[in-house]
Structures are given as structure tokens and as C-alpha cells.
Amino acid sequence: MTQDPYHYALIARAIDHIGETKAAQPRLDDVAEAVGLSPAHFQRVFSQWVGVSPKRYQQYLTLDHAKTLLRDRFTVLDTAHEAGLSGSGRLHDLFLRWEAMSPGDYAVGGAGLTIHWDWSDTPFGEALAMATERGLCGLAFTAEVGRAEAMRDMRARWPKAEYQQSPDVIAPLLGAALGGKGETALHLIGAPFQIKVWEALLNIPSGHVTTYSEIARKIGSPKAVRAVGTAVGRNPISWLIPCHRALRKSGGLGGYHWGLPVKRAMLAWESARLEGEAS
């Protein structure tokens, strides 16, 4: 994945325009004008980022696309791992190694823990990345919520930890996580139930989706759909733990902690990349 915040900012503006004028089915020229580029330049930049035409991408951003994903690319979590989907299906050239803090460590709110952090550019806008000595423990996107809210949200999860801005620590970790080579270590900080939900999310292959109720069934709590939804929303490591791949049974996107435009962009990006690999 190429790190290019300009491309994301451009597409975010295009998404806003498409959403506002969806009923009119805006043409390429209209969207290009709305983002301040010539049609040819917009088409080229857009295709470089997402791999398909703006028109095709527009189709991916609709509710109908989410319903199509549920029909054609719904992942039954019992078989995803056995089929190799959770490994080869991820569109990142990385290997995720993860471990969870003990319940006791979680209960004390990060006391005695040093958490390094920094702001970083990503294909989905600016992100706040956090890490312990064991790996990435937080990844929040600021495009819709802003820096102050992202920082407040993340620090509230581990209120007793020591925080230190450390660009030299964060840069290599996030570089690997966003498409570099080698292993990416994750340090999950959450309650035991949340950890179960996040582990299930890690088994959803890129370009595919599941439902909150399917996750609840997979972790042995079929009636806890609402609690699963809450745990999905509390995932501290967005994108790498793919909470954006959890949808409602109806095909609705549900919520997304860092804003639905970011969730739509992630799903559309993955779908386009998967289609490109298959062609």
C-alpha cells in the first residue's frame, strides 16, 4: 500500500461530492471539477490510488455494494482460516503477530506501561499510531473526528500509561503495517471478550465481509450481537484488525468509530484491489 495522504484527501473530497449528488449520478467531469482537477488528471490520480475507474468506484460506495459483498463475499468464519483466506487473502505484504495483555494488566489501565505515539500519513488520511515495546497497540484515523478527539479517545483506553511522542519508534512499525516487508507485531489491549471479537475479525479476508451476528456465533455467544458490535467499535487498531469488514445482516454498513466515509473508502479500496488481482 502506497502511503499518499494527498490521494486520500482527493478521494475523500470526491466521495463527499458523489454522496451529495448521488441522485444525479455525477459524471467524471463533474467530480473532477468538484475536486479542482482536470478530468484527465483526476482519472489518472484516482486510478493510481484505487485501481479502477471513478465510475466503478462510485458503485462500490453504495449500500447496494455492501449487500453484494454479503451475498457474494460473505465469510463464514469457521472455514475462512482453513481455506487460507486469512493469510493469503490479506492485501498487505505482511505477517501479523499478535498477543494480548493479561486481564490483570488491562484492569490497571496501563499503569507502568510506556506508550509511544506519533501522527502519520496513510492512504486513508492522517492517523494517530501508538505502540508499546511489544508492537502497535493503537491506530486511529483523524479525517472525520480530528486530532484532539483521536488523542482523547486513545488515551482514555489506557489512562494510567505514560505517553511519549516517538517518531523514530512509530515510523518503522507503521511502515511495515501499511505495506512494508516483514512481520508486524500487534499488542492488543482489551477485555477478554473484546479480544475474542478482535481475533475473529483477524480471520476475515481482505475484500470480504461478515456480520455482527456471525462473529457472535463464532465466539460462542450467539445472543451477544449488541455486545459484539460494541467490541468491534472499541477495536484500538483500525484497518489492521479489520472492523470495517463487519456489516449488519441487512447489508447496512453499521457504524464506524472513525467515521463512515473512512469505512466506505476502506471497503471500496479492498474490493477494487481484489478485482484487480483477479483480472
For residue 82, give the C-alpha cell.
482453513
β-strand 135-141 against 125-132: which pairing, if any?
A: antiparallel
Sign for the CA dihedral angle at 66, 71, 73, 76 comes to: positive
d(CA 107, CA 103): 6
Biggest CA-to-CA distance, the chain: 57
Cβ(208)–Cβ(245) under 8 Å? yes
243 is known as an active-site residue: yes
d(CA 13, CA 258): 16
Which member of 136, 243, 266, 268 is catalytic? Answer: 243
d(CA 260, CA 143): 11
In the three-class reduction of DSSP (H, G, I as helix; E, B as strand; rest coil), residue 139 is classed as strand
Burial of 103 (0-12, 13-18, 19+ CB in 10 A): exposed
Catalytic residues: 243
